Amino acid sequence: MLAFAKVSLHTRLWAFLRVSLIGVVWLTGVVLFFRTSTIVVYDTESTYNVTAGVGPFNGSYVQPFFDYLHSLAPSYPLQTLPYTYYAVSYNLVINPIFSTVLQPVSCVQNQTSGTRCMSYLLSGGLEMVAPRTVSTSEDYPMVKISKVPSMQLDFAEDIPSNIFSEEDCDTFGAANTIIALRLCLAEDQLDYGRWNAGCLYLCNSAENGTLCDATGADSLPNITSSISFYKRQATVMAMRSNYSITSISDLSPPESVTDMDLPAYRSALRWLLNFTAEGIPPPSSIVESFWGADDQLNTGPATYGLLLQEFQSILAFPLWFFNANNFGNIALKKRTTSAAPQEVGLPAEFFTVASLVAPYAKLKFDPVMVILFIVLQGLTILLVWSILFWIWFRVGVDQLPNVSSHPQFDAMFKIEAKGMSKAHTQDDLLDAEGGEAIKLVDGVRVYMKDN
């Protein structure tokens, strides 16, 4: 309508400018919310000193811990494996209290070759923190633990089945039982710092009278996996209610660990798996869970399911238990959650801070949209001020009609109407609606008064 109206070009330009200004103002109010996302931020109630985290495997802790267990019952003829440690080994890497799934560092997923990669960050979460909390406030349901020492474990099913020698393997079982397991572990000769592990089990002594004869050509491992270790730091968020790790952030670059004590590591695995030395009935042992799932394991990796993760948990157990911040370090055997951090006797890397926090949702604006918003707002303000300066210096203030801040007042007292029917007053026009108002102003001329 503006384009075809019979008005001057000057009037058209001013009208177009006003319409454009309205459009820019409307667009400015909308554009800021384009590509907007929601992020979680945390309100902090208090911060306190703690010890936390999981460090590298320390082989020097293994034998002193065994000696300590023996000292608790010197006359006990069997090896001691407390159930509190035994139970953790089944699901250590997939337990959200201790571990978080990560992208692998050293393994590349390959669907063509069948290589599968799995990686976990063992941070210990809130379970490995002392003291765990210093407040009972229910308004802050989470704990944020900063710069937590952590270990990343990369697993890959890409190792050949014939790389182990007899010296690399241990057999767990007895001649009077059909349940037995053979575990092999050796350092990768081509990739320094990576270990290869194979689980060969299906040992039925009732049939051949021997345990796990793995020397034949048809003796293949039921599960194979390589394992690599990396030191990292992370900020860990955990729930106070159930200790579950909800998120990790601020991950430091991975640092490969290549100087781990393999003989001590194997000794720790023997302690965990040797159910005959501990007097555990074979059907109640860790070995039985593999031995009783021969159908899944014989079918291939596609049916491993939780068995593969259980095997990985067993391989991760010595590292988790025999690190400086766990009870495999006998210096911590008297540690309680109320102990002061400086009394624990840990390396400096395990000293950090924890905070009680509450999560809140927050809008996150896209930087490009914020810049566009500022530009449009700036143009709008610049245009308004330009018009004001043009009126002030070009038109002159004295040429403008005197108006108040009340438009209804101006309409009633500053407009003079001539030609209205004597039967009607200006009040009738103010009260009229729709078609009645059009009839009243037929032939009426309106004059604006200056004051």
pLDDT tens profile 50-106:
899 999 999 999 999 999 999 988 999 998 888 888 888 888 999 999 999 998 887
Q: Which two tokens stand for residue 271?
A: 């302690």
What single-letter DSSP state applies at residue 242?
Answer: T
- Compute the chain's Rg from CA coordinates: 39
The pLDDT tens digits for 118-155 are 899 999 999 999 887 777 778 889 999 999 999 999 98
Whole-number pLDDT of residue 98: 94
User: Structural domain boundaries of the chain?
Assistant: 18-36+365-400, 39-362, 403-451
pLDDT at 446 exceeding the cut of 90: no
- pLDDT of 421 reads 64
| Residue 160: pLDDT band with limits 50, 70, 90 | low
Q: Is the Cα torsion angle 252, 253, 259, 264 positive or negative in sign? A: positive
According to DSSP, the residues that pair with 368 across neighbouring strands are none
Whether the CB-CB separation of 32 and 367 falls below 8 Å is answered with no
Look at residue 333 in the predicted model and tell me its pLDDT. Answer: 58
CA distance 391 to 396: 6
* Residues 144, 355 contacting (CB under 8 angstroms): yes
**297: pLDDT strictly greater than 60:** yes
Q: 3-class SS at 424? A: coil
> Sign of dihedral through CA atoms 309, 310, 313, 315?
negative
DSSP letters along 61-116, please? Answer: GHHHHHHHHHHHSTT--S----HHHHHHTTSTTT-TTTEEE---SS---BTTTTB-
Are 368 and 31 in contact, with CB atoms under 8 Å apart?
no
User: Tell me, what's the pLDDT at 344?
Assistant: 63
Q: What is the pLDDT of residue 307?
A: 81
Q: Give the sign of the dihedral formed by CA 335, CA 341, CA 343, CA 348.
A: positive
> For position 362, what pLDDT does the model report?
85
Given a cut of 80, is residue 296 above it in pLDDT? Answer: no
Whole-number pLDDT of residue 61: 94
pLDDT given at position 124: 92
Structure confidence at residue 112 as a pLDDT band (50, 70, 90): very low
Task: Say if residue 218's pLDDT is above 70.
Answer: no
Provide the pLDDT confidence category of residue 35 given band limits of 50, 70 and 90. confident
Say what the pTM is: 0.72
Question: Torsion angle of alpha carbons 99, 103, 108, 110, nearest 10°?
Answer: 90
d(CA 266, CA 346): 25
pLDDT tier at 16 (50, 70, 90 boundaries)?
A: confident
Q: What burial letters (b/e) apply to 242-267, b meaning 16+ CB within 10 Å?
A: ebebeebeeeeebeebeebbeebbbb
pLDDT more than 70, % of the chain: 68
Residue 236: strand, helix, or coil: strand
Q: In angstroms, rounded to a whole number, what is the distance separating the alpha carbons of residues 207 and 384?
A: 96
Query: How many residues are there in the chain?
Result: 451
Helices 262-273, 62-72: axis angle to 10 degrees equals 30
> Are 66 and 271 a contacting pair, CB within 8 Å?
yes
Largest CA distance in the chain: 127
- Strands 351-364, 194-200: parallel, antiparallel or unpaired by DSSP? unpaired
Q: Considering Cα of 192, then 194, then 195, then 198, what sign does the dihedral take?
A: negative
**Given this model, what pLDDT does residue 87 score?**
85
Mean per-residue pLDDT over the chain, rounded: 78
Report the pLDDT averaged over residues 10-15: 71
User: Residue 215's pLDDT is what?
Assistant: 46
pLDDT in tens, 38-54: 888 888 888 999 899 99
- The two tokens of residue 244 are 């579950």
Task: Name the residue type at position 134.
Answer: V
Q: Which residue has the higher pLDDT, 363 or 57?
A: 57
At residue 403, what is the residue type? V
What pLDDT score does 424 carry?
66
In contact, 115 and 107? CB cutoff 8 Å: yes
Closest-CA residue to 54 (of 192, 311, 245): 245
d(CA 21, CA 382): 11
Q: Which stretch of DSSP H or E encloses residue 447? A: strand 445-448
Residue 179 has a CB neighbour count (10 Å cut-off) of 22
Query: Is the pLDDT assigned to residue 409 strictly greater than 60?
Result: no
Please report where in the chains the tokens 């459009």 appear, as a residue: 23
Between 4 and 209, where is the model more confident?
Answer: 4
The string of pLDDT tens digits covering residues 324-349 is 999 899 888 555 444 555 566 688 89
As a whole number of angstroms, the distance between CA 65 and CA 60 comes to 9
Those residues with Cβ within 8 angstroms of residue 43's Cβ, 6 or more apart along the chain or in another chain: 140, 357, 358, 360
Question: Six-digit token pair at 60?
Answer: 């020097």
Residue 346: CB atoms within 10 A of its CB come to: 22
Higher pLDDT, 173 or 1: 173
Query: Residue 63's pLDDT is what?
Result: 94
**Tens digits of residue pLDDT in 306-330:** 788 888 999 999 999 999 999 899 8
**CA gap 440, 379 in Å, rounded:** 43
Strands 351-364 and 142-156: antiparallel
- b/e map of 318-336 (b: 16 or more CB within 10 Å)? bbbbbbbbbbbbeebeebe
Q: Which of 90-99, 269-278, 365-374, 407-416 has the lowest mean pLDDT?
A: 407-416
At a CB cut-off of 8 Å and minimum separation 6, what does 206 contact? 178
